[in-house]
Amino acid sequence: METKPRILLIREWEGQTSGSGCCGRLEGDFLVCGESQPVAPGQRSIMERMGPLYMSLKRELGDSADIEVIDPRNVSLFFFLLHDFWRFNVGITQALKTLARIPIQAVVVNGRIVARGEWPDAEKVLAATGLRAVGT
């Protein structure tokens, strides 16, 4: 059985996180200030800019890759990365570099950082997976 590549799109959730753990997130219309301004406009902007990348990857790869969107504060990110380091034979040096360089906004493919601080073109992410698009 062939191993499917995993793409992690790392970005903060829009909602304000309260102090009650992973289930304490406030979001949506409840957190609108003034003239329909979201409480977390920076995070909302990042989310909106990530949308075209996510949709392009889903369209091009279909079910041939696992695509996850995850908040950098979510403890699951650490476990996803550990699993991918093992599954995709990422060396200890590369694994430590990835762990040390994870920012609030990043793309990680198979345990290796592809982009930091900005959303790359879908072609760059596709190339990192080693897969051809579904339609080609």
| 134 is a domain residue | no
Q: Is the pLDDT of residue 44 over 70?
A: no
Q: Tell me, what's the pLDDT at 130?
A: 87
pLDDT in tens, 75-85: 999 999 999 99
Domains in the chain, number: 1
Q: Tell me, what's the pLDDT at 117?
A: 87
Q: Tell me, what's the pLDDT at 24?
A: 46
Question: In angstroms, rounded to a whole number, what is the distance separating the alpha carbons of residues 23 and 122?
Answer: 32
Q: How confident is the prediction for the chain on average, in pLDDT? A: 80
Domain encompassing residue 53 = 6-129
Mean pLDDT of 13-40: 52
Residue 42: phi, psi to the nearest 5? -65, -50
pTM to 2 decimals? 0.76
| 1 is a domain residue | no
| 82 is a domain residue | yes
DSSP string, 10-59: E---SSEE-SSGGG-EE-GGGGEETTTEES-HHHHHHHHHHHHHHHHHHH
Question: In angstroms, rounded to a whole number, what is the distance separating the alpha carbons of residues 108 and 115?
Answer: 7
